[in-house]
Amino acid sequence: MTDFLLELLCEEIPARMQIKASEDLARLFAEKLAEAGLKPDSIQSFVTPRRLALIARGLPLQTEAVNEELKGPRADAPPQALAGFLGKTGLTREQLVERPDAKGNAILFAIIEKPGRATADVLAEAIPAIVRAFPWPKSMRWGTGSLRWVRPLHSILCILTDEAGAEVVPLDIDGIKTTNTTEGHRFMAPGRFAVSSFDAYVSELKRRFVILDATERADHIWQDATNQAFANGLEGVEDR
């Protein structure tokens, strides 16, 4: 089993769009994985003024192999009908299975085996699709690219992690290549740093003046405001 960490770092996201964007990221990610037959143990999404992030825990290393059954024509169908079905399935007549229907007619079926796919390959297809179809209320293009995002997208952190370490899921979205690095507060802690796990990601961000969890961030702001008001003989007026 492995964990997947995604971060989309951009310029400032309007405050009114942040929470909905975090929810949309988790929803779209879960839908894409379900289409591929992947089900993580849990999915959590986060948002800060400059980033959307997601951690999916307990992903299998690959999807399960499955058999898909397609119903075809009757065994005594005209050659044209049989040829069309064989062309659709990519099988030969000898590979088809005959089964009687309720009236005793022999019906042809194709059993198509679909091997399992590496989880990294599934993610490499899913993430660009999510980014390009993301439902921002308003989005923009910049430079000469075709990608639309709420504000210019700067970098994409995209890693699978397990006990052995972190592995970048390689992909390229409109010239932005995935890495295992990100950055903290743009003024108080400039510069990029490498990420090896979700826990390290959260702690290193906090060390660089970024609190990933929105609820924790709001509580921190209110507590600081209350303390500073008290130190000056004042009382804070709570206004969420």
pLDDT of res. 181: 98
For the entire predicted model, the pTM comes to: 0.82
Distance CA 141, CA 128 (A): 16
Q: Name residue 49's amino acid.
A: P
Residue whose C-alpha is closest to residue 135's, from 223, 216, 52: 52
Q: Is 123 helix (H, G, I), strand (E, B) or coil?
A: helix
Structure confidence at residue 176 (pLDDT): 97
Q: Which residues pair with 114 in a beta bridge?
A: 66
So what's the pLDDT on residue 88? Answer: 87
pLDDT given at position 113: 80
Which pLDDT does position 142 carry in this prediction?
Answer: 95
Count Cα neighbours of 114 within 13 Å in the Cβ-side half-sphere: 14
pLDDT band at 112 (very low <50, low <70, confident <90, very high): confident
Structure tokens at 102: 């309720």
Highest mean pLDDT among 46-50, 68-72, 111-115: 46-50
Percent of the chain residues topping a pLDDT of 90 = 80
Cα–Cα distance between 155 and 9 in angstroms, integer? 5
Alpha-carbon distance 149 to 35, whole Å?
24
Tell the residue number behind the tokens 């307990």, with chain if given: 58
pLDDT reported for residue 238: 84
Which tokens belong to 89?
């399935």
Identify the CA nearest to 75 among candidates 90, 91, 103, 97: 97
